[in-house]
Chain A
Amino acid sequence: MGTDLAYNFVFKVVLIGESGVGKSNLLSRFTKNEFNHDSRTTIGVEFSTRSIQVDSITIKAQIWDTAGLERYRAITSAYYRGAVGALLVYDITKHLTYENVERWLKELYDHADPHIVVMLVGNKSDLGNVRTVPTEEAKVFAESKGLLFMETSTLESTNVESAFLEVLTEIHKKVASKEVTRGSISAVTLGQALGPSREFNEERRSCCKSS
């Protein structure tokens, strides 16, 4: 298709975390403008992308959420492929969702680019419940793992924008400073057709050239 050439980069960012922590809500809040734009004709068509400006550069954020697809076996396997950012979401009112953060982190690093930018996001999606995960504790944990950290509320839309922007800015910094490998940069600028040849290149890269 490629009609929309008004951007310099496409960054794929995945949303991960236990079900019910408000991932789809975060996504919907962040892409809201485009979701509601011309709602008569484009039902749900642009809920997964949003373009933002960072230092006069336009970044198209392509945000992946497995909403409704968790049971399709092979579909989810493509989820991490090519992702350069991740929001690892837990619910600050449900401690169990925080306890599982480490498992998600491991899964992410097992499948994704080692340079992936990860933010730990403590979300509050429910009005009634009380906090069970102290901010300090999560913050310290995030620092020890080298993750960005933020608390959001999808109820009041607090920090949703900042969380995504910080992740996208950080990815841009990495790309701009060439900190990432060449291969990863080509993964950042998506747009090539999927197919074995390209995937094999990626695989070869991870076998032979990875740090």
Chain B
Amino acid sequence: MFDASVWRIRSIRDSVRLEICDEPSPAVLNRFTHLDPDTPHLENASQEIGEEVEDGAVFSISLRKVQMYQSSSKSQRWMGVDSDSGLSLYETCKLRTIKAGTLERLVEYMVTAFRGNDSTYVTIFLCTYRTFATTKQVLDLLLNRYAKLQPGSEVRRMTPDERTELRNTVSSILGAWLDQYSEDFWKPPDYSCLRRLIHYLQLSFPGSDLERRACNLLSQFHRRLQQESDRDVLDQCCAFALLQENGFHEERPDFLNFDPTVVAEQFTLMDAELFKRVVPYHCLGSIWSQRDKKGKEHLAPTIRATVSQFNCVTNCVISTCLSDRTLKPAHRARILEHWIQVARECRILKNFSSLRAILSALQCNPVHRLKKTWDEVSRENIRIFQELSEIFSDENNHSLSRELLIKEGTSKFATLEINPKRAQRRQQPQRDLTVMQGTIPYLGTFLTDLVMMDTAMKDYLDGGLINFEKRRKEFEVIAQIKLLQLACNNYNFKRVAGFSVWLSGVEKLSEAESYSQSCEIEPLSESASNTLRAKKSSGIMKRWSE
């Protein structure tokens, strides 16, 4: 099949060294594989040695060292114990992966990759293909050409084994597609792609589980269409603050009455629900950066929902800190301190989203400028606040928060360096550290990375081939998101109704409102620059308030 291929060996340097090197690589930022303890550290032992150019496709040829005997058990690797006393034998395999190709070749490669060593290809393809093709295009190519199981000239030439293998491959690909990306087939009212698939399955896989699943999906879609006419699927604003308003004059519970742990847990509960619902491929730069374009206002609703929740938390902090301008600085400082404690609890729960939201709110100008209030905040709380803020330092492109995410992404609990003594002294019962906790990332870092990756890498190579290498790189980020989403299932909190009611009742302040409220609390000095500040241009506010 690949007879016509041309070998272009660029370099074979290092290929010898490869066979003996056995050092586990130091923690590498953004490698999703490092989050998974089951993956041996062999990632860097893969070395590209050349490129193969064919008609309509470019392949990368690399050597990879594969361990033949696994001396340590899974659990040992979990613990970081790698007793390498036994003999480890390594074998160097030649790896051939597609780098770029026409759509036809990329689809065809799904079938060949399954048998070969490029096992993640199908996953990456299904996750990213929407950036270069439609569902219909891919389905047509797959079903009409590369997955032809009906008696025809090509199939007849196959041996029975080959036929079985092709059947299994096709079944796995279609199964994965239906399982993970059923949304692709949501094309009301006629669902032509799904019907096309069902037709194919009825012919080639009659009576199979796959066929049943496809049919179930269709009836599910029919039901959903009915329901959707009645209500909106996703609530855009504060997904959990749906409770009715009881009028402003009723007695509201004071924010200080909520235990910081409860507040952090409630935020985490909300964040986890929204984060789990995020459709990872919507984060791709080519999709997310389209969000403000005309006619794309409803793009990526699941991401918008997490951003709304973030802004909701931010507003809640700002609003409570600026409430009641008659408060004495010392009393207002208690509110700030309370929020610092909530932030700290979020850190313990590894909820980086609300943690960042709270810190950003405390750092935003209207709250930040309240000097008299901050003067009343205890040293200890200031120190905690500063330590927490350092997590999101922009130094080295936010390397600290990235490292933390990798380190703690799927670990059991936060590795808190901030004052463990204090944590022990606290009265509340200690968290059960044997219970796995989830992690909620601040999605913004991923969004920026993906937008920048999309900007920096070409969609198509010079010859017009689809640059699949770009999709592989993007997928590394997507895979991190997916892993964290899985880990999020480990949170297990109960809703506290009183908190939801309270949260929904928090006054919504615009950028301008919070600034003027802040100035009422602590008036501006007469300096010219501050008068200018008071009259903030409306431009920036327009964009900030959704």
Contacts and interface: CB of A to CB of B under 8 A. Distances in A.
Contact of A47 (B311, B357, B397): B397
A2 interface: yes
Interface in A179-199: 191, 193-197, 199
B99 to A, nearest CB: 13
Contacts of B304: 71
Contact of B285 (A1, A68, A194): A68
Given A43-B30, A44-B452, A67-B451, A1 B396 contact: yes
B444 A69 contact: yes
Residue among B356, B360, B390, B536 with the most chain A CB within 10 A? Answer: B360
Contact of A28 (B394, B396, B456): B456
A78 B356 CA distance: 13
B397 A103 contact: no
A8 B285 CA distance: 34
Nearest to A210: B529
B12 to A, nearest CB: 18
Interface of B (DSSP majority class): helix
A27 B289 CA distance: 16
A35 interface: yes
A43 B363 contact: no
A39 interface: yes
A48 to B, nearest CB: 5
Contact of B29 (A42, A69, A109, A194): A42
Contact of A106 (B539, B544, B545): B539
Contact of B456 (A47, A68, A193, A207): A47
Contact of A74 (B363, B385, B453): B363
Contacts of A203: 368-369, 371
A207 B451 contact: no
Contacts, number: 175
B289 A68 contact: yes
A111 B533 CA distance: 7
B543 A70 contact: yes
Contact of A49 (B397, B455, B528): B397
Nearest to B544: A73
A210 B527 contact: yes
B447 A68 contact: yes
Nearest to B526: A207
Interface residues of A, number: 57
Contacts of B447: 67-69
A62 B374 CA distance: 30
Given A69-B447, A71-B546, A206-B529, A193 B390 contact: yes
B476 interface: yes
Interface in A39-79: 39-49, 62, 65, 67-78
Interface string A97-110: 00000011011011
A19 interface: yes
A208 interface: yes
A17 B182 CA distance: 39
Contact of B310 (A72, A197, A199): A72
Given A45-B29, A45-B30, A72 B444 contact: yes
Contact of A69 (B315, B448, B545): B448
Residue among B361, B385, B386 with the most chain A CB within 10 A? Answer: B386
Contact of A104 (B360, B402, B449, B539): B539
A32 interface: yes
B473 interface: yes
Given A69-B444, A77-B360, A206-B530, A35 B456 contact: yes
Contacts of B31: 41
Contacts of B528: 210
Interface in B154-199: none
Contacts of A47: 397, 452, 456
Contacts of A27: 452, 455
B267 to A, nearest CB: 15
Given A28-B452, A114-B529, A74 B444 contact: no
A35 B525 CA distance: 45
Contact of B537 (A46, A69, A106): A106
Interface string B443-475: 010011111110110000000000000000100
A34 to B, nearest CB: 10
A197 B315 CA distance: 23
Contact of A44 (B28, B30, B311, B539): B30
B432 interface: no
Nearest to A105: B537
Interface in B27-43: 28-31
Contacts of A48: 397
Contacts of B529: 114, 206-207, 210
A110 B537 contact: yes
A25 B455 contact: yes
A193 B397 contact: no
A70 B539 CA distance: 13
Given A47-B397, A48-B397, A196-B385, A78 B448 contact: no
B453 A77 contact: no
B395 interface: yes
Contacts of B543: 70, 76
B389 to A, nearest CB: 5
B511 to A, nearest CB: 8
Interface in A69-101: 69-78
B357 to A, nearest CB: 7
B216 interface: no
A24 interface: yes
B292 interface: yes
B365 interface: yes
A67 B389 contact: no
B532 interface: yes
Given A68-B285, A72-B307, A196-B382, A208 B452 contact: no
A194 B357 contact: no
Q: Which 7 A-B pairs have the closest CB atoms?
A: A74-B360, A68-B447, A68-B451, A195-B386, A67-B451, A44-B449, A28-B456
Interface of B: 28-31, 44, 285, 288-289, 291-292, 304, 307, 310-311, 314-315, 318, 356-357, 360-361, 363-365, 368-369, 371, 374, 382, 385-386, 389-390, 393-397, 399-400, 402, 444, 447-453, 455-456, 473, 476-477, 511, 525, 527-530, 532-533, 535-537, 539-540, 543-546
Given A67-B452, A70-B543, A206-B530, 18 more contacts: A24-B455, A28-B455, A41-B44, A43-B30, A44-B452, A44-B453, A46-B397, A68-B447, A69-B447, A73-B314, A76-B543, A77-B363, A77-B364, A194-B389, A194-B393, A196-B382, A203-B369, A203-B371
16 contacts: A43-B29, A45-B29, A67-B289, A67-B455, A68-B450, A71-B291, A72-B444, A73-B545, A75-B444, A103-B537, A107-B539, A107-B540, A194-B363, A206-B529, A208-B527, A210-B527
